[in-house]
Amino acid sequence: MALKSLNDLEKYIVLTEEEKDWKEDGGHTLPILISDHLTPLITNPAIRRQFVPSVKENKDTVGNLDPQMEKEYSVTPRLVKRYRNRAAFLVTDSCFAYCRHCFRRRFAGSMVGPATKKEIEEACSFLSDHNEIKEVLLTGGDMFTLSDTSLDYLLCSFKEARPDIIYRLCTRALTSNPDRFTQSLFEVIKKNSIGAPYYLMTQFNHPSEITEKAKSVIKEFVRLGIPIMNQTVLLRGVNDSVEVETELSNTLLSLRVKPYYLFQGDLVQGTAHLRVPLSKGIEIEKGMRESLSGLGLPQYTIDLPQGGGKVPVESRYNKGLIDGVWTFSTLDGEERHYPEDD
């Protein structure tokens, strides 16, 4: 059964004091939601840490709820355009399970619901008028929480508006609810992918998330000819070692999934206890480079605060560490700062 409260959790695991003391603080913390698929897996420490809340979320005052400044970059109520050539459409705020490290805490689980037809039409109209946009991320929330009918309408609308655009289907459902990928859902995806290039963007953070059901879903996307790219978030106590990251990359490659990004944790309020010090992340990336081929090596990347955009951590954009603070240059030459978490 899906777990939605601390009382539900106590039926499956013995909560620590830090877990028991967590309080849902409307607008500042995510609610609890752990899917049926994940429920039997929460005894695994790597799964537990990602989905079971801690009182540390309540005490964290570092960062804010919108570090990427998506509100400021919204060109329609659901379409975020932070880069010249790509945009993100927030399909829904709902997920099958809420990750405690979620960078979109200001939106996820907020009960605003799926995008309306009007909001979809507004976004499609904007895309039709802006040919400089070459990629759109269909994200949220998780787009696959929508019904087959609603997904069909969504995908068809975007395809008709701009069939030349690359569409990234962003989802965590292969970890949280692989049963969602029914034959009827694949028929919807197959029908709408004809003439429109789709990429499936997954988030596997630990090898234990790649269950047999997840592997079956991956194989079906491969059979449909849809490339799969994985985006891992570097998380303290979950995957912050060369050994775990190497195993994850090798497992993904064996399934024809390209390890794409290894993300440094965003400065999102409530997530400090899950962030890995940047200096440790650099050492992990170095170790991965020594043990993986180029095909298996994800790009260690940071999404800079205050809407600074993505840059590789080990690059000319990194100006170094001084007095416990990293300084980065954005693509536009502005300066951004990121603390060296302990």
Catalytic annotation, pick one of 86, 134, 213, 289: 86
CA distances from 222 to 169, 175, 217, 252, 267 (A): 14, 17, 9, 13, 34
Between strands 258-263 and 228-233, the pairing is parallel
Exposed/middle/buried for residue 157 (C-beta within 10 Å: 0-12, 13-18, 19+) = middle
Catalytic annotation, pick one of 48, 49, 81, 82: 82
Catalytic annotation, pick one of 56, 134, 289, 310: 310
Active site residue 170: no
Catalytic annotation, pick one of 78, 93, 95, 180: 95
Active site residue 86: yes
Catalytic annotation, pick one of 303, 317, 338, 341: 303
Catalytic annotation, pick one of 266, 300, 336, 341: 266
Active site residue 156: no
Active site residue 82: yes
How many H-runs (helices) and E-runs (strands) does the chain carry?
Answer: 11, 12
Distance in angstroms (rounded) separating the CA atoms of residues 214 and 230: 13
Report the SS3 class of residue 137. Answer: strand
Contacts of 38 (CB under 8 A, 6+ apart): 47, 51, 97, 175, 176
Active site residue 338: no
Active site residue 36: no
Active site residue 48: no
Question: Nearest 5°: CA angle at 65, between 93 and 202?
Answer: 50
Catalytic annotation, pick one of 48, 60, 99, 275: 99
Distance in angstroms (rounded) separating the CA atoms of residues 31 and 11: 18
Please report the sign of the dihedral spanned by the C-alpha atoms of residue 168, residue 169, residue 170, residue 174. negative
Catalytic annotation, pick one of 98, 102, 152, 159: 102
Active site residue 256: no
Distance in angstroms (rounded) separating the CA atoms of residues 147 and 152: 8
Catalytic annotation, pick one of 12, 83, 148, 258: 83
What are the catalytic residues?
A: 82-83, 86, 95, 99, 102, 104, 266, 303, 310
